[in-house]
Amino acid sequence: MTDDERLDHLIAAGTETLGLHVQPEWLPAIRLHLGISLRHAATVLGATLPDEADPAPVFVA
């Protein structure tokens, strides 16, 4: 399976699950942006952090 095919599967399954209706002509841009987002996600998931690390969803500077 190519990278594009993997992304297209994810888009099809994910949008159906979430109730999003995607027109075929939107697909190339969604694929492009999902690819970028997942590369950033992989960078984030590559961080080695202790199990005790607390997330900061309501951030205080």
Which residue is associated with the tokens 């199990």? 51
**Residue 61 touching another protein (CB under 8 A):** yes
Q: What's the DSSP call for residue 58?
A: S
Q: Establish if 6 lies at the interface with another protein (CB under 8 A).
A: no
Q: Which helix (H) or strand (E) holds 42?
A: helix 27-45
Q: Scanning residues 28 to 47, which ones bind another protein (CB under 8 A)? A: 29-34, 36-41, 43-47
Q: How far is Cα of residue 48 from the mean position of the Cα atoms in its chain?
A: 20
Residue 8 has what DSSP assignment?
H
Q: Based on CB atoms, which residue is closest to another protein, 1 or 61?
A: 61
Which residues here bind another protein, judged by CB under 8 A? 10-11, 14-15, 18-23, 26, 29-34, 36-41, 43-47, 49, 53-61
